[in-house]
Structures are given as structure tokens and as C-alpha cells.
């Protein structure tokens, strides 16, 4: 197979419970030749409310999610919304391939299953295009945790900086990727992300998030509660490990009784502390080259807390490596889409625990 650059459109639904990111890049799955454009689109209010209703049922099993009519209808509605976003975003652009990584609402690697709120068949039929989605499944079937899926993209970015280097990605959940001197790569999910802040602000103030980190900076973090939250068993589990937005649902009660501002500050501090503790506990060393990307970069207070924890090491935005990295998750998904087409691995034994380097992504062909 001749590997050539393709214009890949990536959709990432994990960046926030409130919005979806889209990106169009030119890549051969090894390098990125051009970052063409990005866009963030908020979910309509009814979709956002329905997502939160589903997430409120944190005890649902994989089988219940697959068979529940409400969830299936929601999955179809979100897929139609994604299709509409793609049509608007791609208008007038040359697009060779499409990849969608939807919102993961359930993950159980022990049973080799996860559940995303997107339907590849609905998307292929709506767009009349071949669609690549469900990037997690091949890794799960190979014994992996299926997350994080950004390691190959970060490995490409790491070619442009001194090693060792650490990449912190904060989206709905948080992950670390460590690149060593000799080409070694280690990655794992490590912390709750923006979903925890969004859940708190929505339930207590009907706010979709802590805009510009204003509530977090006004409030005072309760570090005793943070210490209790840091005892969560999954934070102490040896990598590789994967988290989903449901992992910390039962810990919400620890924040109840705090003011809106103090609860936001406490949730924000918990994320920052969990990220730092994971770096201390599970990395060979904490390098001086540290970069941060993802949805969490839009929250200055979260960035401030993380930077304070890692001081005196500087934590730089990932845009220091590439200024066009404004929709990291969607750009990584587009990169992975082309790697799937060429059979290149997305995950490795040291990033997800898969038995061998694994490509991934299911192709839904457009109707004849």
C-alpha cells in the first residue's frame, strides 16, 4: 500500500459534555502536513440534558445501555447531530476520510466492552460517506484498556521537542503520556477532567462549566475533601488503566454542602492533585519538558493549579509545539483515522496494556 497524505476530518465528542470538536488536517498518519481548520459546536439544550440524564444512571451495565430504548434513541439523535455538524464544517472542503470518537459513557476493560454515544451506521447513511468509528474495540479485544487513544499522535508531536517529555491531556477525563530518551512511550488515564467541574456547576448553578475558571479562583478549595477524593482506588491502580466520565460519580457527595465557588475550587484542585500524584507515582521521572493540552486548557484556574503542583518545572501549553493545536482531541482522532486506513497502530502494550501494537477503528461503509 502506498502511504500518501489524506485530508482527514476528525470529530471528538469526549472533550466536553456540552460540546463537540471538529478538525480537518492533512496527514499520512505519520506526519501532519497541514492543520486546515477546527471548530467547536455546543450541543443543543435538549441533547445536553438527555446526556446528563443518561449519565445520572451510573449503575447501568453495558447490556442495559445496549438495550435501553432511551439510550438507543439518544445515540441516534447524537449521531444525526454529529452528521449535521460535519456537513456544515466540511462544506466547500476536500475531505478524504471521516473519523468519529464519540462520548464514552461506559468502559469495562475486564469484560472487553465500552460504550460510546455514536452510531457508525447512522452516520454513514446520513453523510453518504464511509465512516470510521469505535476506535476502542480492537484494543479491548486485545486485552487493552482502550484509553488513552492519543499516544500515537503525541509520539508524532514529541519528535519536535527534547526528551524525556510529559504530555498532560485534560478533557472529560485526564491522561498522561511520557516519552523517554530512547523512544519509549508510556500512557494512561490518570484523573477526572472537565466533566467533574461541569457536573458540579450544572447541578448547582445551571452553568455548563466554570467559564474562564472564575468560580474556581473566587472559591477556596477544601484540601481535606481533596485528600479524601485522592483515596479513590482507581487512582492507585497500576497503569495501564482507563477512566470514563462515570468513574468518580459516587464521589460527588463529598462536595455537597460547599458553596458553589468552594465546590468548584475543590473539584478543580482535585483534578490538579490527581494529575500530579499520578506523575509522581507511576512515571520513571517527572521531566523538565511538560506540555498540557485538551479542553482543560480553557480553564485558567485549573492550569494555575497544575502549574503550581509541578513547579519549579514549567508546564507549557501544547500550542508551544504547534500553534494550530486548538482542538487536540479532534485532531488526534483525524490522525488516528488515517492510521486506521493504513493499518498503523494506535495503541501499544505500554499505553493501554494490549498484547501487541494495535490499529483500531471500525469502518461503516456508505450505502450503495
Q: pLDDT for 309-322, tens place per residue? A: 999 999 999 999 99
Decide if 150 is inside a domain.
Answer: no
| Residue 96 within a domain | yes
- Say if residue 169 is in the same domain as residue 27: no
Give the number of domains in the chain. Answer: 2
In DSSP terms, which residues pair with 98 in a beta bridge?
A: 9, 131
86 and 177 assigned to the same domain:
no
* Pair 165, 138 in one domain: no
Residue 18 has pLDDT above 90, yes or no: no
Share of the chain above pLDDT 70, in %: 99
Domain encompassing residue 239: 161-320
pLDDT tens digit sequence for 44-84:
988 888 888 887 776 778 888 888 898 899 999 999 999 99
Q: Are residues 312 and 183 in the same domain?
A: yes
CA distance 16 to 126: 24
251 and 195 in a single domain? The answer is yes
Q: 251 burial class (0-12, 13-18, 19+ CB within 10 angstroms)? A: middle
In this structure, are 196 and 294 located in the same domain? yes
Same domain, 206 and 279: yes
Q: Please list the alpha-helical segments (H only) found in the chain.
A: 45-56, 62-67, 69-90, 120-127, 137-141, 151-158, 194-205, 214-218, 223-229, 233-236, 260-282, 300-310, 328-341
| pLDDT of amino acid 115 | 87
**Dihedral of CA 205/210/213/216: which sign?**
positive
CATH of the domain at 29: 3.30.420.40
pLDDT of residue 323: 95
What stretch of H or E contains 7? Answer: strand 6-12
The pLDDT confidence band at residue 14, using thresholds 50, 70 and 90, is: confident
111 and 241 fall within a common domain: no
| Residues 204 and 124 placed together within one structural domain of the fold | no
* Nearest one of 132, 86, 60 to 339, comparing CA atoms: 132
The overall pTM is greater than 0.75 = yes
| Domain annotation covers residue 264 | yes
Q: Indicate whether 103 and 50 sit together in one domain.
A: yes
Looking at residue 311, what DSSP letter applies? Answer: T
Q: Render pLDDT for 183-211 as a digit per residue (tens, 0 to 9).
A: 999 999 999 999 899 989 999 999 989 99
The predicted structure's pLDDT at residue 248: 78
Residues 248 and 311 in one domain: yes
Same domain, residue pair 343 and 300 = no
Q: What is the mean pLDDT of the chain?
A: 93
295 close to 38: Cβ distance less than 8 angstroms: no
Amino acid at each position: 500500500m502506498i502511504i500518501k497524505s489524506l485530508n482527514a476530518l476528525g470529530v471528538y465528542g469526549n472533550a466536553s459534555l456540552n460540546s463537540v470538536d471538529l478538525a480537518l488536517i492533512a496527514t499520512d498518519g505519520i506526519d501532519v502536513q497541514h492543520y486546515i481548520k477546527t471548530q467547536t459546536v455546543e450541543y443543543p439544550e435538549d441533547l445536553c440534558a438527555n446526556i446528563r440524564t443518561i449519565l445520572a444512571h451510573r449503575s447501568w451495565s453495558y447490556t442495559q445501555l445496549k438495550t435501553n430504548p432511551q439510550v438507543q434513541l439518544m445515540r441516534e439523535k447524537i449521531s444525526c447531530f454529529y452528521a449535521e455538524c460535519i456537513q456544515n464544517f466540511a462544506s466547500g472542503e476536500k475531505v478524504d476520510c471521516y473519523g468519529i470518537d464519540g462520548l464514552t459513557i461506559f468502559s469495562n476493560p475486564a469484560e472487553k466492552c465500552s460504550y460510546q454515544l455514536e452510531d457508525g451506521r447512522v452516520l454513514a447513511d446520513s453523510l453518504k460517506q464511509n465512516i470510521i468509528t469505535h476506535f476502542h474495540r480492537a484494543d479491548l479485544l486485545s486485552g487493552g484498556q482502550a484509553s488513552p487513544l492519543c499516544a500515537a499522535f503525541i509520539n508524532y508531536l514529541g519528535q519536535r521537542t527534547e526528551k524525556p517529555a510529559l504530555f498532560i491531556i485534560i478533557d472529560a477525563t485526564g491522561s498522561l503520556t511520557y516519552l523517554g530518551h530512547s523512544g519509549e512511550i508510556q500512557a494512561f488515564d490518570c484523573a477526572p477532567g472537565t466533566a467533574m467541574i461541569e457536573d458540579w456547576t450544572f447541578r448547582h448553578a445551571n452553568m455548563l462549566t466554570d467559564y474562564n475558571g472564575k468560580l474556581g479562583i473566587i472559591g477556596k478549595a477544601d484540601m481535606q475533601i481533596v485528600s479524601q477524593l485522592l483515596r479513590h482506588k482507581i487512582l492507585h491502580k497500576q497503569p495501564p488503566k482507563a477512566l470514563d466520565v462515570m468513574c468518580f460519580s459516587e464521589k460527588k457527595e463529598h462536595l455537597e454542602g460547599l458553596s458553589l465557588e468552594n465546590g468548584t475550587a475543590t473539584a478543580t484542585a482535585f483534578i490538579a492533585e490527581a494529575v500530579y500524584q499520578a506523575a509522581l507515582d507511576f512515571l520513571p521521572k517527572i521531566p523538565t519538558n511538560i506540555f498540557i493540552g485538551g479542553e482543560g486548557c480553557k480553564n485558567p484556574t485549573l492550569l494555575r493549579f497544575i502549574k503550581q503542583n509541578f513547579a519549579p518545572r514549567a508546564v507549557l501549553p501544547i500550542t508551544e509545539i504547534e500553534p494550530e493545536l486548538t482542538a487536540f482531541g479532534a485532531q488526534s482522532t483525524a490522525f488516528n483515522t488515517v492510521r486506521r486506513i493504513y493499518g498503523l497502530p494506535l495503541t501499544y502494550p505500554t499505553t493501554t496494556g494490549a498484547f501487541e501494537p494495535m490499529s483500531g477503528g471500525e469502518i461503516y461503509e456508505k450505502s450503495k
